[in-house]
Every structure is written in structure tokens, then in C-alpha cells.
Amino acid sequence: MLKPSKLGYAELTVRDLEGMTHYYSEILGFTLMEEDEQGRRYFSSGLDHHNIILTPVNESNLLSMGFQLAKDVSLIDAQKELNKLGVPSELKTDAQPGISEFLELQDPDGFNVHLYTEIEMPAPRFKEKGIIPNKLGHLALASTNPIKTAEFYKDVLGFYYTDKIDERANFLTCNTDHHVLNVSNLGKRLGQSNLYHIAFELRDASHQYQAMDILARNNIKVLWGPNRHTAGHNIAAYHHDPDGNLVELFIDMDQLIPGLGYFDPRPWHEDFPMLPRYWDDNSQWGTKFEETLLDYASKKFEKVSNKN
């Protein structure tokens, strides 16, 4: 079965291209690699040609997710496997700088999924200035049918189902991180699919505090956290980017031991062994916030409707 090795990139459509460019290059500390003929801007966290693509189309959404397959997988064979499962896909060549070919398919919410085996690694290295995350950690989807979408990633792309919080959150991984995808029912609530949040991994608590200081200096408020989640046990803090997307900065994500089906034990775990499970709350510390993460993610849509 097809199974990606990593979440390589997210392509966002953006309303405020200049604000988002400043955010990704100066505040998060990614390197702007290039701008293509369509005006799409490509940012690297340190190794790959890109981990973030900003596409200006005057609408804020998640357009595509790039998943890198193992080096020895042939995209032609991958396409045959998808065909067998009744999932149409298109092999695209030279559609993006840095990636010579990828397979494009759509998930049940209409998000584009790009599967590729190779990406150029110009390695601009990590910047000296800005938050400078380790990597793009996970994407949380505002799905109109979270169960169907989560099943798609499990059955078609071989993702492993980890935890679940009601219909609100379905956590899936394709590697050892507790989740690289979180499929939520926010899209159902909004009546459209969109991005729920995008998450970047930091190194430790000191790095997380430093990140909050950088946000504060740039007049960006921390909305929720830092607080330890139940599912994944990551200590997460959330803010809005200039386009109104909810962004998570986290540390301490649970690590799945492949083949054993439980997470590497940690002192803060509730269960030993810590197995995938159902949770009824997302705050391990019991901290209550005035608004939920779904409320904060919904604000982007309130802003749009107020403008109209």
C-alpha cells in the first residue's frame, strides 16, 4: 500500500500576499526561495526547496498538501495502485519548481494531494533570525465529512489512525509523529472545507517562550496555550497569521514506535503503554480558555462575512 514518509509542504491560497510573505520570512524565519511566473512564492524551512507555497488568489484556504513517498517508489506504480482503489490521479511534470513530477489527486474534501518521491534540496540552512521552527509538523483540516476524509487517508494512503476527540478531531500519521494530519469537523460547521490550522514543530520549552516573545514584538497575540494537549501530548500555543489562519507552534509531540502500535513512554502519559485512544477533552492540564480552537479558527470566516 502507498504510504508517504513525510508531510513535505503545504500550499496556501492567500489574500494578503505581502503580509504573509513578511510573516513567513521575517517572523517564522523561513527562506524565500523563489517566485514563479504565476506569482506563487516558495519558502524553505532549511533543507527542501519548499515547505510552504503562498499562492495569491484573494481567498484564504489550503490548496494542496505535498507528501513525499519513499525514494524507491515509482509514481507510475503508485498511480496503478490508486487506479485499483478507484481513485483518479494525474501525473504532472514541471508543475512546480524543485519537483520534477508529482501525482495529483483530490481527497473527499477537494484538497489537492501531491505525491512525489524527489524534491530538490538546495539547503538554504536555518535562518539566524525569526522563530525558525524545525519543520512543518502537521495540518489540521476543516472537513465537511471528517469520518469519510479520515478513512480516505487510512485506506488510500496507508495512514495510521492514532487518537480521536469526538467528531471534532481525528488524528492520523504516516510516520512516527503522533499526527501529521488532524481531520476536524470544522468544515461541517462552516459549510465548506478549509484549513483548520497549520502547525510547526519547535525544539523545546525555551524555544517556545522565545517564539511567544517574537510574536509579541510583532503585535501578534497568543490566543490559546501554551498548554499540553491530550491527544499527542504536544505542548501547543496558537496565534493568527496575517491572513487569519490559525497557526500552532508545538513541542513534545508523542512518537509512535512503528510496528508496536504504542507511543514511546513519557512521564506525562496517562496510560502505560500509551495506545491510540479516544479523548473527551483536548487539555491535559485542565486549563480552560474563553474560546475553543475551533472558535479561533472560525474568526477568519467572520472577518470575511463582515467585509461582505
CB atoms inside a 10 Å sphere around CB 258: 10
> What is the rounded distance in angstroms from the CA atom of residue 207 to the CA atom of residue 274?
26
Would you count residue 181 as binding Fe ion (CB under 5 A)?
A: no
For the bound state, the minimum distance from the C-beta of residue 262 to Fe ion, rounded and expressed in Å, comes to: 21
Would you count residue 248 as binding Fe ion (CB under 5 A)?
A: yes
> What is the rounded distance in angstroms from the CA atom of residue 11 to the CA atom of residue 184?
19
Would you count residue 199 as binding Fe ion (CB under 5 A)?
A: yes
Contact range with Fe ion by CB under 5 A, out of 133-141, 149-157, 165-173, 293-301: 133-141
User: Pattern of binders to Fe ion over 204-243, x per CB under 5 A?
Assistant: ----------------------------------------
> What is the rounded distance in angstroms from the CA atom of residue 269 to the CA atom of residue 279?
13
- Shorter beta-carbon distance to Fe ion: residue 10 or 199: 199
- Shorter beta-carbon distance to Fe ion: residue 140 or 183: 140
- Shorter beta-carbon distance to Fe ion: residue 40 or 138: 138
For the bound state, the minimum distance from the C-beta of residue 199 to Fe ion, rounded and expressed in Å, comes to: 4
The cell for 258 is 512503528
Q: Which helix (H) or strand (E) holds 69?
A: none
Would you count residue 141 as binding Fe ion (CB under 5 A)?
A: no
Contact range with Fe ion by CB under 5 A, out of 85-93, 126-134, 207-215, 247-255: 247-255
Specify the DSSP class assigned to residue 182: E
Residues in binding contact with Fe ion, number by CB under 5 A: 3
Would you count residue 54 as binding Fe ion (CB under 5 A)?
A: no
Q: Where are the beta strands (DSSP E) in the chain?
A: 6-14, 31-35, 41-44, 52-56, 61-68, 90-96, 99-106, 112-116, 135-142, 160-165, 169-173, 181-184, 194-201, 224-228, 235-240, 246-251, 278-279
User: What radius of gyration do the chain's Cα atoms show?
Assistant: 18
Q: Are 45 and 133 in contact (CB under 8 A)?
A: yes
For the bound state, the minimum distance from the C-beta of residue 15 to Fe ion, rounded and expressed in Å, comes to: 23
- Shorter beta-carbon distance to Fe ion: residue 99 or 248: 248
Specify the DSSP class assigned to residue 263: B
- Shorter beta-carbon distance to Fe ion: residue 64 or 234: 234
For the bound state, the minimum distance from the C-beta of residue 70 to Fe ion, rounded and expressed in Å, comes to: 25
Q: Are 114 and 78 in contact (CB under 8 A)?
A: no
Contact range with Fe ion by CB under 5 A, out of 98-106, 121-129, 138-146, 282-290: 138-146
For the bound state, the minimum distance from the C-beta of residue 65 to Fe ion, rounded and expressed in Å, comes to: 14
Interface residue list for Fe ion (CB under 5 A): 140, 199, 248
